[in-house]
């Protein structure tokens, strides 16, 4: 995939066009539920139960319905902005949300509004940015492509003359937008009878400057970048979710690719990465240099959330996750307990992986002590994988 550093100093990458249609199918399926499918559940449940009810065939099918979503209000957002975001009117928003009638004052951040969207808007990402020496408000706004005025409003308590290390909150639309109008507003292709879909490529805008120093078990992180909140995954502890710029970009791209390829739309829980400055991070032995991330393996639909049983893991989805990290996430290693590797191996075979791919990807069926394969044994990694992202070529102090 092409990659470059854009003028704002952020890493970004544009996905191959062939992936876009499938990506779009995923966007529809994930968190966005056609009203018809939600049925008697009502709007509130619809968003939560997307996994159970979503219609992922939506990309190619005309849809007469609008899409029910739940919008979480960000600070200083106006009703007009929200209406524009989803192609609806302020009056409509008021009619769907009693809370807007009761309270006529300003919107409160965190409120959840029901929206019957005409436009599938991109997920919004909350980022905590740590000011670097020499940064200006204008540059930071530019990095994230947000108006400077908004940046000030989100950070009212922050003095205009800030210092390095100051934390800023940024609400950014990832250029992730697979923006697509629903069938009602979309012309129908006369040859195929399907709506013609316009899609903007998914891009992640990650600030540069997060650098990995030393090795994962004896190292640190400078300018650590926090993995942003996202609809793609859930971050268990944001204060333990810092990585190098490279790692943060690779994680988001790999998970987007995984969602796209697998259609898996259940939760994906992200555990520890590194602390903001890296270094020793108990109880982990590694996780010191911003290159390691623990990810809970995807569960089968309906499986008990607390279950540790390998039978409750969706191994087909788990293989797609591993494959996505190898192909799109620059994974050096993916640690998984040897006792679970056979299930992963069999899922890969079911998915049609070639012998060459299997050989490269998974240590099994070789012995657990073999130094071969991206997926390697590490004790105790039974229901989660630990992905280690490679050192980027341009970071000389990063060591394997
Ligand atoms: Zn780990």
Q: What's the pLDDT tens digit per position in 218-227?
A: 999 999 999 9
* Residues, beta carbon < 5 Å, ion ligand 1: 294, 386
- Hey, where are the domains in the chain? 18-122, 125-172, 210-389
Ligand 1 centroid to Cα of residue 282, in Å, is 11
Ligand 1 centroid to Cα of residue 387, in Å, is 8
What pLDDT, on a 0 to 100 scale, did the predictor assign at position 104? 58
Ligand 1 centroid to Cα of residue 289, in Å, is 12
What pLDDT, on a 0 to 100 scale, did the predictor assign at position 244? 96
Per CATH, 18-122 and 125-172 having the same topology is answered yes
What pLDDT, on a 0 to 100 scale, did the predictor assign at position 118? 78
Ligand 1 centroid to Cα of residue 272, in Å, is 7
Sites in the chain below the pLDDT cut of 50:
1-64, 174-201
CA–CA dist 93, 73 (Å, integer): 13
Ligand 1 centroid to Cα of residue 376, in Å, is 13
Ligand 1 centroid to Cα of residue 81, in Å, is 41
Ligand 1 centroid to Cα of residue 385, in Å, is 7
The closest alpha carbon to 259, from 19, 98, 14, belongs to 19
Say if residues 382 and 343 touch (Cβ distance below 8 Å).
no
- The architecture of the domain spanning 18-122 is Roll (3.10)
Ligand 1 centroid to Cα of residue 82, in Å, is 39
Ligand 1 centroid to Cα of residue 275, in Å, is 13
Ligand 1 centroid to Cα of residue 119, in Å, is 39
What pLDDT, on a 0 to 100 scale, did the predictor assign at position 20? 35
**CATH no., domain 125-172:** 3.10.350.10
**CATH no., domain 210-389:** 3.30.1380.10
Ligand 1 centroid to Cα of residue 254, in Å, is 17
The closest alpha carbon to 369, from 359, 361, 377, 379, belongs to 377
Ligand 1 centroid to Cα of residue 59, in Å, is 37
> Could you tell me the pTM of the whole model?
0.56
What pLDDT, on a 0 to 100 scale, did the predictor assign at position 384? 96
pLDDT tens digit sequence for 42-92:
222 223 323 222 333 333 333 335 777 778 787 777 888 888 878 888 888
What pLDDT, on a 0 to 100 scale, did the predictor assign at position 1? 40
What pLDDT, on a 0 to 100 scale, did the predictor assign at position 269? 95
What pLDDT, on a 0 to 100 scale, did the predictor assign at position 123? 57
Say if residues 288 and 279 touch (Cβ distance below 8 Å).
yes
Ligand 1 centroid to Cα of residue 35, in Å, is 40
């Amino acid at each position: 995939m092409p990659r470059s550093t854009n003028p704002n100093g952020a890493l970004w990458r544009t996905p191959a066009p062939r992936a876009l249609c499938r990506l779009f199918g995923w966007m529809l399926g994930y968190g966005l539920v056609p009203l018809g499918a939600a049925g008697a559940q009502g709007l509130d449940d619809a968003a939560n139960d997307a996994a159970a009810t979503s219609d992922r065939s939506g990309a190619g099918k005309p849809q007469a319905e609008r899409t029910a979503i739940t919008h979480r209000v960000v600070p200083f957002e106006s009703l007009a902005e929200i209406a524009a975001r989803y192609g609806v009117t302020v009056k409509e928003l008021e009619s769907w949300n009693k809370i807007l009638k009761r309270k006529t004052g300003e919107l409160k951040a965190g409120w959840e509004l029901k929206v019957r969207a005409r436009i599938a808007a991109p997920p919004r990402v909350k980022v905590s940015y740590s000011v670097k020496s020499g940064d200006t408000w204008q540059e930071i706004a530019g990095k994230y492509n947000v108006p400077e005025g908004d940046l000030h409003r989100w950070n009212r308590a922050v003095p205009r003359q800030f210092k390095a290390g100051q934390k800023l909150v940024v609400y950014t639309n990832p250029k992730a937008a697979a923006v697509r109008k629903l069938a009602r507003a979309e012309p129908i292709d006369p040859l195929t009878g399907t709506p013609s879909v316009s899609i903007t490529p998914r891009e992640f805008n990650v600030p540069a400057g997060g650098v990995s120093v030393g090795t994962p078990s004896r190292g640190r992180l400078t300018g650590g970048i926090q993995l942003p909140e996202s609809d793609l995954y859930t971050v268990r502890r944001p204060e333990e979710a810092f990585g190098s710029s490279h790692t943060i970009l690779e994680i988001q791209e790999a998970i987007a690719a995984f969602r796209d390829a697998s259609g898996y739309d259940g939760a994906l829980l992200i555990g520890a990465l590194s602390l903001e400055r890296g270094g020793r991070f108990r109880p982990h032995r590694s996780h010191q240099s911003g290159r390691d991330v623990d990810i809970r393996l995807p569960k089968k639909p309906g499986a008990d959330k607390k279950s540790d049983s390998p039978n409750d893991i969706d191994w087909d989805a788990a293989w797609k996750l591993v494959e996505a990290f190898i192909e799109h996430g620059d994974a050096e290693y993916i640690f998984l307990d040897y006792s679970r590797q056979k299930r992963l191996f069999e899922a890969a075979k079911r998915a049609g992986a070639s012998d060459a791919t299997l050989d490269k990807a998974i240590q099994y069926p070789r012995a657990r002590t073999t130094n071969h394969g991206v997926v390697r044994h590490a004790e105790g990694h039974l229901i989660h994988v630990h992905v280690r992202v490679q050192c980027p070529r341009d970071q000389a102090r990063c060591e394997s």
